[in-house]
Amino acid sequence: MNFLFKFTPAAVVATLLSFNCTQAQTLIDHQQLGSTSKQVLEAQAFFAGGAFDIKYGIDFYKITYETPGVNGGVDTASGMVVFPTVTNCDDGLTMAAYEHGTVLRKSNVPSRDNGEATLGKVMAGIGMVTVMPDYLGLGDAPGFHPYVHAESQATATLDAFRAARDLADVLNVNLNGDVLLTGYSQGGHAALATHKYVETNNLTAEFAILGSAPCSGPYDMSGVQTEPIVQGAAYDTPGYVIYLLNGYNTAYGNLYDSVQEVLQPQFHATVPPLLDGNSSLDDLNNALPQEIDSFLTADFLTNFRAAQQSGNHPMWQNLADNDLYDWVPDAGVRMFYCTQDEQVFYQNSLVARDAFRQNGAADVSAINRGAQNHGGCLVPALSGVAAYFDSLLVICGEPVIEDTGVFVQNRKAGESSMTLYPNPAQTYFQLKTDQTADVEIFDAAGRHMLSLFRVSAGRQIAVNTLAEGTYFVRVTPRDSAPEVLKLIKR
């Protein structure tokens, strides 16, 4: 996708270079990649699922910045920062992170304006400064990417936020200190890892997390997500297994001296060259059979499986180090998943939700977005993210939707074009609208009760299992802003 290329004015560069040398600087360099008008962004949002209500055009930049490497020292990393074209915003803008999914080719990243970067641009069109880190080992970062490594994903994200703050100072953009986090697939893991890192390292004064909305992520790396290796079952994307092994060996250095040591001989010549940063994940998947026992050595698999209970194997230790449910989130968490996900199993979200709640977390939900596969879950998951972020987001001092003290209501609720009937309802209700819409039901305390995707007018929505009382129905149409309607259940 091509955009108009705009160079950064020399005056802006001069301003950056004139910063006091004693001020901590994370940003190394920046380059404006382009701008997109509100009208064009609305069209892009439509193809991204239509869940985001675009209010602004955007300017987007490539950044390079300093961040810790996995082996000590400081690495150079890259990413994209997207600014909405908001003016006269004295109260400041919220920052958000969109964390990208799995890529193997080093250039298939947001800083190179790849296709997935469009999702972060659409988020910025709502009114957030959106940051998209490339992660270590991708984009401009040296070395091999430490795939699904929680700590480096988190530090690369937080330093991208810091670099974005530096750039905001250069561009005279006010920020309010609030942060939202989301991402898809590996990005879901990265978003939750960043949330955990902030809260467990006492960084909430610097990064005031309003909420996180990770989507279809592998939060139970040592359990649910490792079952294909343990069981020897066919796996739809076998390249993930090699990527994971080489990524953890990069991060921890405890698995092998060469990836060939865990590959059966017939793959020694064909697989390692695909890890050079120039090949795609499809290339790697196509070079491997789906049966894991057909490409990993029997010695590795036997030793790994025998240590499942004891954890006395470096790979089990690495996996456990990247589980993300052993803490208690303070800010809200909404994990979106789909039940037919063949790549990142939906039980990851349920394990994390149950552990969080058992540990005492007060505001955590795992939300089913339908019987979709991994690719098909993206749009319904992002629709859920949009609804959640709308309930939290403040733009220039004004909430997107107002807090009533019970849940959220639209500022123009009296002008609603939608109705629910019958209302009060006993066994079901129907939605009267001229558009298909996502429907979420919350009880009076704001607890999530039900989600349905792409509901058409007249469809009966069962509520017979709900207790009597007052509920709020959040309706997110495909082509207009979300609305919240009150439902009485009798």
At 181-208, the pLDDT tens digits run 999 999 999 999 999 999 999 999 999 9
CA-CA-CA-CA torsion sign (159, 160, 163, 168): negative
Q: What is the pLDDT of residue 435?
A: 75
% helix, strand, coil for the chain, step of 5: 30, 25, 40
Q: Which pair of structure tokens corresponds to residue 289?
A: 């059979």
CA distance 420 to 201: 46
Render 176-195 in DSSP notation, one character per residue. EEEEEEEEETHHHHHHHHHH
Say whether pLDDT at 17 is over 60.
no
The CATH number for 10-220+323-395, chosen from 3.40.50.1820, 3.30.450.20, 3.40.50.450, 3.40.605.10, is: 3.40.50.1820
At 318-335, the pLDDT tens digits run 999 999 999 999 999 999
Average pLDDT over every residue of 103-113:
98
Assess contact for 453 and 51: CB atoms under 8 A.
no
- CATH code for the structural domain at 224-321: 1.10.260
For the chain, give every residue range classified as CATH 2.60.40.3080: 406-489
Give the DSSP letter of residue 422: S
Say whether pLDDT at 386 is over 50.
yes
Assess contact for 74 and 91: CB atoms under 8 A.
no
Q: What is the pLDDT of residue 383?
A: 86
At 244-297, the pLDDT tens digits run 999 999 999 999 999 999 999 999 999 999 999 999 999 999 999 999 999 999
Class of domain 406-489: mainly beta
For the chain, give every residue range classified as CATH 3.40.50.1820: 10-220+323-395
Say whether pLDDT at 2 is over 70.
no
Q: Is 299 exposed, middle or buried (0-12, 13-18, 19+ CB in 10 A)?
A: exposed
Q: What is the pLDDT of residue 48?
A: 63
Assess contact for 484 and 387: CB atoms under 8 A.
no
The answer, as to whether pTM is greater than 0.85, is no
Q: Which pair of structure tokens corresponds to residue 441?
A: 């039901």
